[in-house]
Structure 1
Amino acid sequence: MNKFKKLIQLFCLLFVALFYTSSHAQTANWTEIYPGVWKAIVGKPESYDLLKAAGAQPNKDALSKTEKVSFPFANGGVSLEVSGGKTYLRFPLQKEEQLYGFGLNFQTVHQRGKILELHVDHYGGKDNGRTHAPTPFYVSSNGYGVFINSARYIKVWAGTGVRKDSENFPTPKDRNTDKTWSSRPYSDAVEILVPAEGVEVYVFGGPKPIDAVKRYNLLNGGGYLPPRWGLGFTQRVMTRYTDKDVEKEVNDFKEKGYPLDFVGLEPGWQSKAYPGTFSWDKSRYPDPTSFVKKMKDQGIRLNLWINPYISPDAPFYKEIKPYTGSHTVWLGLVPDFTMAEARKPFFNQLLKDQIERGVSGYKIDEVDGYDYYLWPDAAKFPSGLSAEQMRQTYGLLVQRYSAELYKQRNERTFGLVRASNGGGTSFPYVIYNDYYNHQDFITALINSGFAGVLWTPEVRASKSGEEWLRRFQSNVFSPMAMINAWASGTKPWSYPEVEADVKKFALLRMQMMPYWYSAFARYHFEGMPPFRGMGLEEGFRQDAKVEKLNKVNLEENPYAEAASKEIKDQYMAGDDLLVAPMFAGEKSRKVVLPKGKWYDFYTGEYAGDGEVLDVTPGLDKIPVYVRDGGIVPMMPALLNSPKSNQKVDLEIRYYGNKPGEFKLYDDDGETFNYEKGDFSWRTIRVEKDKSGKVKGSISAAVKGKVNTVGKVTFTAMTK
């Protein structure tokens, strides 16, 4: 009997111990790892996470120079708890606080009140967390950010659940008599569920929202600095084009006077695709080496479409097969890229068959979703990683290891990818998809600045010349100016009624290259997104009323509520430009200007100061405004981007009346020599004297550094 009692007591002690270790709250122990960047470890984080998958290396030098700020949750309210094999996180929210981020969303900028599951997927038309880059990072209008470093499907309640023990518990109201009753009462927290027994959590200080975003980007290594040619114009040709078809198209661009820097070859360049052989189709490209060289001699780079699923006819099929997942995609093997044994044959094939021939980059397709063509969550991988972890990071892995091929050759690349995640900021890829809503493309461009990724509102085809021009105009003010004609065969001149204006904007893209290149340099060195939402702009009116309340039908949905629509169709581009795209069918639109004087980009005329404009720009332009004192360095409208170390003349356009300053970045435009210090920032200053005459200057070239600046002239746009 005594033995039985001792066994019972021992069992009880074990039960209590197990209960204690499986369910307990943790007092957050925040360590400031860089100025304004804090880290906490909850429970036992998994050995594989987003930052490890990406191989992200913080820009320590830039982070160390950032402003020291106080921890944003100094008064408490943060709760971290591990229970039942899952990690629960809770961060406080103030009443008027707005949230941004939680990945590459397409229809909403304000994320407060959302319930999301952050899950890599092809965007399916609804902002529910399933998207190409479900970055688990959010930014508060109060000037801080939070990042959850987990490669799991993460659930988020962004101010939706009301705890019974909340210090800010709302007063219950009678729906029958009180018109202010809400089906979504105020919640004072962001709650996050991570399906793992621990996680790393990072908090980024401000003092402004843009400062938190910059710190996050720098923790990821800073944004990528593309080669100059990557910021030129690109045309993706039809799937089954031959080398002769490509040569003809390149000649057509030149003869018609349209700029072109790189051409994208779609699946037909391979002998087989879906799944792929990653080998040239010799019937279409009989001599790839000569073809690539011929294009490069004309200033044209080549970018190749791939998806990483391997055909039985691939030359390395047998070698890689043991290091692939249990399930296929389109009957192709899925390499486990966390294993060197899988990376070696795959990326060696890209290196030997294409990159050493002079191919300049890749478009990496179908690493995002949908569920019915990617591997299921039941799949197994030889490394032991779960299918879920592989799904969340596969886009990171293919970006990382393909980018390394170019880095090892001291060549910069710039390409396209369908999936990314936290940790991927420093990769040379722009996200795209098959969704084709122009308005939502612009909202995605805005949200890309909160997610640490780049996004292109690509142009494919249109129902009218008007739509074609409107899409093209906004595409010029984006990370990659691209027509994707893989199915349509469209060209810039495909709609004759707007061809002259399309050409004007294509050439404008080239003229603005010094401006774009400097903006991307700031992305790399300082973490400043080159394209970003108005919520990150100082002086912007978050409460500007530009639309009426949404109409709701309570018969159809008794819990629907009217709400003002956020501003999601205008954005900042570089330091000084506000871009407000037009959409097909629109004759006019409203533009919300931040505080301070703003001027028309095209004419230099005064536009307004912190007000809501009602503008009718005409079909030949979209509204673009420059802040007072803004400087836009322009170069001649070349048909190809400047070659390495090529000098170009600059026209410095100056707007408004305030003294202006611009940091012009310069390097060779193609290599990573800037990492060894071979770069310079040259200060451009412009002001008006008492008589209104413009006085401009540019600091001297740095001795021993690259200097691509030729003759410099100054133009006062505001008369």
Structure 2
Amino acid sequence: MKKITISTILSLVVFLLQAQSIQWTEEFPGVWKGSFGKPDSYTLLSAAGSKPKSDVLSKLQETAFPLNKTEIHAEIIDGKTYLRFPLMKDEQIYGLGLNFQTVHQRGKILNLHVDHYGGKDNGRTHAPVPFYVSSEGYGILINSAQYLTFYVGTGVRKDSKNPPVAKDRNTDKTWSSRPYSDAVEVYIPAEGIEFYVFAGESSLDAIKKYNLYCGGGTLPPRWGLGFTQRVQKLYTADDVMKEAAEFEEKGYPLDFIGLEPGWQTKAYPCSFEWDKSRFPDPAGFTKKMLDKGIRLNLWTNPYVSPEASISKEIEPYTGSHTVWCGTVPDLNHPEAKRIFANQLDKDQVKIGISGYKIDEVDGYDFYLWPDMATFPSGISGIQMRQTYGVLAQKLTDGLYRKENTRTFGLVRASNAGANNLPYVIYNDYYSHQDFITALVNSGFCGVLWTPEVRGSKTGEEWLRRFQSVTFSPMAMINAWSSGTKPWSFPEVADQVKYYAELRMQLMPYFYSEFAKYHFQGTPPFRAMALEEGFRNESKTVAGSQSLEDNPYLEAVNKEVKDQYMSGEYLLVAPLFTGQSTRKVLLPQGNWYDFYTGELAGNGQEITVTPGLDRIPVYVKDGGIIPLMETRLHAPAAGEKVNMEIRHYGTKESSYNLYDDDGVSFDYEKGAYSWRKIEIKKDKKGQLQGSISNAVKGKPDNIAKVGFRFMSK
């Protein structure tokens, strides 16, 4: 009898793993889970702790599986998993993280790795979400917390169904070093994988299902959609109060102020304790600010100074490596979470601090822990790197949930599954154009991004940047270093004030759009490619016809990365420093100027010269934009406001206006309402507006309502 060796057994195990097929489960209508091999138990979704919105997903219409399952291939080679998905000839791919320079990802090789963005779309970014969506109306999520490599239409297999034709470079000018590829291939350094396929009637439908599967998008407090100023790093309590008074005296809106590193006794690494020389009475100071209608947000990073009061207690539950000589709490370990959360809770959350700016949880490699780092929970250094920003978001969000009060903050790293966590990504990279491209891409991957304002060389640049943040998830000046204020450039101070006030007026609209993000999965800021009637092919790719120079030729269409949809109805087309004119691509249907109500065009490319005072904004036919009165602060819970409801164009239409108390989580228990706004023509053909009555026992924060028909 032949002796069976360990080597033989291992070879048999490897063979069986390679021979097995993908196991499919339909989780909800249009949502399938694929499982292959032995997936890691620690994944992106498990780290985030996100739970699908089952009540919404289960009611969706049945949808056919969007791909040919026989063309989805998985195998294990040398302990690594390889996945392959088919691509059609004219299919475009979007997503795969928070990219800053490209919207089309076909023809790219991306190594998805949490890091500070370094100026190149190579997969190393603040939110390397391994979710992509196709122009064919489906999306795919690879649920792994490992570093993943995506070959998006770049590898060419010899058994391809659509192989490229070999050409002679010596004689054929159409030869390319990057021949056509018909697959997305994914390299996963693990002995198995769990992944999801989302199908819909459109790409937006697939994204909505992905967001809903990850718990729905976040619903910020109303004040989070107001205006925020982050003050210089060594400000004192008196400095902060003086600056807040300046905002009020000059009539600039302000809802929350960000305190930078100087609020702590030690930073880089941090003590998480108030510096009493700058803030002698933190609780009293916080209360004074709250009484003025202004909340406070605290900068921190989660690395513990040797001089912190929690240093000795938390040390056994920290990683093997330090960051800036500070220990790294293992945010997967219950004791580390308890100690760290208690410190934040007792001296900050409990006295009324409204949120955090969580810095430096992204990169660079030279100051964060290396991949071989170990943590007490047993989670690897790589998996911790991919999820640490999410873990920090989840921990702090949990503190506010215990208080039944919502927060809205900033973070430098996120990933899949964190869709419902109340954080906006930011960074130190400062290209205005690339900031807008990131805003476009954020809608593909379930994260929020702010094109913040820090400083500018000219008043023109200052105003152009400020106009952009008006139509973004968080309207923020980050003056931690520059000390800039909205009025720092007197020549454009009035225009800046106009947009700060407009941001406040738009609060009912943005709040309703975020409610749709939470309840329906619709991203509030999204690419033009997701807008019905938008035809990318209206402008084919110009320039080189070589795939080496222009790999996007594989899917023909031109990237549109400098305009985007802000909610259901607003199309925003920023201008940048030095530009006086720009081209705007309008989807099919009539579109109207936001400011005047005049017809701008229909399904065409227009050239506009708006002047320095205006950022081009257009509203689709039938667009309904609810505005509230100009205010310095967001309405308090239960406070009623007057509203003007604008209608654009000639179409009859309707809009659902969301309402709740604006601050608590009571909406999760049903304490919210949708009030239907309708625009209809009377017997004479004149447009008339109406709004449904508030439901008894439901929130009602609306006083007087007036209608304004912009396109006469």
Moved over 6 A (4+): none
Measure the CA separation in 2 of the matches of 1:698 and 1:11: 74
Q: Is the partner of 2:151 in helix, strand or coil?
A: strand
Q: Equivalent residue for 2:589?
A: 596
Measure the CA separation in 1 of the matches of 2:11 and 2:639: 72
Measure the CA separation in 2 of the matches of 1:546 and 1:37: 33
Q: Which moved more, 1:177-186 or 1:573-582?
A: 177-186
Q: 1:115 aligns with which of 109, 115, 136?
A: 109
- 1:134-193 C-alpha deviation (Å, 9 max, x unpaired): 000000000000001100000100010010011111111222332322222111100001
Q: Superposition pairs for residues 34-113 of structure 1, below 5 Å?
A: 34-74=28-68, 76-113=70-107
Q: Is the partner of 1:61 in helix, strand or coil?
A: helix
Matched, 1:650 2:609: no
Q: Equivalent residue for 1:20?
A: 15
Q: 2:314 aligns with which of 289, 310, 320?
A: 320
Inter-CA distance 75–384: structure 2 relative to 1 (3 Å threshold): closer
Q: 1:504 aligns with which of 498, 509, 530?
A: 498
Matched, 1:627 2:620: yes
Q: Superposition pairs for residues 510-659 of structure 1, below 5 Å?
A: 510-545=504-539, 548-549=542-543, 559-561=548-550, 565-659=558-652
Letter of the 1:338 partner, please give it.
N
> Between the two proteins, what is the percent identity of the paired residues?
65
Measure the CA separation in 2 of the matches of 1:371 and 1:659: 55
Contact persistence 2:21–2:36 (CA under 8 A): no
Measure the CA separation in 2 of the matches of 1:608 and 1:547: 23
Measure the CA separation in 1 of the matches of 2:13 and 2:471: 57
- 1:201-253 C-alpha deviation (Å, 9 max, x unpaired): 10000110001000000011001100000000000000000000000000000
Deviation at 1:688, TM superposition (A): 3.5
Measure the CA separation in 1 of the matches of 2:126 and 2:8: 47
Inter-CA distance 686–637: structure 2 relative to 1 (3 Å threshold): same
Q: Is the partner of 1:234 in helix, strand or coil?
A: strand
Q: 1:298 aligns with which of 253, 269, 292?
A: 292
Deviation at 1:11, TM superposition (A): 7.3
Measure the CA separation in 1 of the matches of 2:252 and 2:634: 12
Q: Is the partner of 1:695 in helix, strand or coil?
A: strand
Deviation at 1:82, TM superposition (A): 2.0
Measure the CA separation in 2 of the matches of 1:28 and 1:47: 17
Q: 1:246 aligns with which of 240, 245, 249?
A: 240
Q: Is the partner of 1:39 in helix, strand or coil?
A: strand
Matched, 1:453 2:453: no
Contact persistence 2:536–2:558 (CA under 8 A): no
Measure the CA separation in 1 of the matches of 2:378 and 2:542: 53
Measure the CA separation in 2 of the matches of 1:175 and 1:412: 62
Q: 1:269 aligns with which of 263, 275, 292?
A: 263
Q: Equivalent residue for 1:699?
A: 692
Letter of the 2:267 partner, please give it.
A
Measure the CA separation in 2 of the matches of 1:421 and 1:45: 18
Q: Superposition pairs for residues 349-368 of structure 1, below 5 Å?
A: 349-368=343-362
Measure the CA separation in 1 of the matches of 2:430 and 2:544: 24
Q: 2:169 aligns with which of 158, 165, 175?
A: 175
Q: Equivalent residue for 2:153?
A: 159
Matched, 1:210 2:199: no
Q: 2:366 aligns with which of 362, 372, 389?
A: 372
Matched, 1:195 2:152: no
Deviation at 1:687, TM superposition (A): 2.8
Q: 1:340 aligns with which of 331, 334, 341?
A: 334
Normalised by the size of structure 2, how large is the TM-score? 0.97
Normalised by the size of structure 1, how large is the TM-score? 0.97
Matched, 1:402 2:391: no
Deviation at 1:68, TM superposition (A): 1.7
Q: 1:675 aligns with which of 653, 663, 668?
A: 668
Matched, 1:483 2:477: yes
Deviation at 1:75, TM superposition (A): 5.6
Q: Superposition pairs for residues 423-434 of structure 1, below 5 Å?
A: 423-434=417-428
Measure the CA separation in 1 of the matches of 2:204 and 2:406: 27
Inter-CA distance 621–690: structure 2 relative to 1 (3 Å threshold): farther
Q: 1:708 aligns with which of 689, 701, 706?
A: 701
Contact persistence 1:25–1:79 (CA under 8 A): no
Measure the CA separation in 2 of the matches of 1:261 and 1:546: 44
Q: Equivalent residue for 1:137?
A: 131
Letter of the 1:659 partner, please give it.
E
Measure the CA separation in 2 of the matches of 1:423 and 1:344: 22
Letter of the 1:20 partner, please give it.
F
Measure the CA separation in 1 of the matches of 2:137 and 2:623: 25
Deviation at 1:550, TM superposition (A): 5.6
Supply the RMSD in Å over aligned alpha carbons: 1.5
- 1:573-603 C-alpha deviation (Å, 9 max, x unpaired): 1110100000000011110011111000000
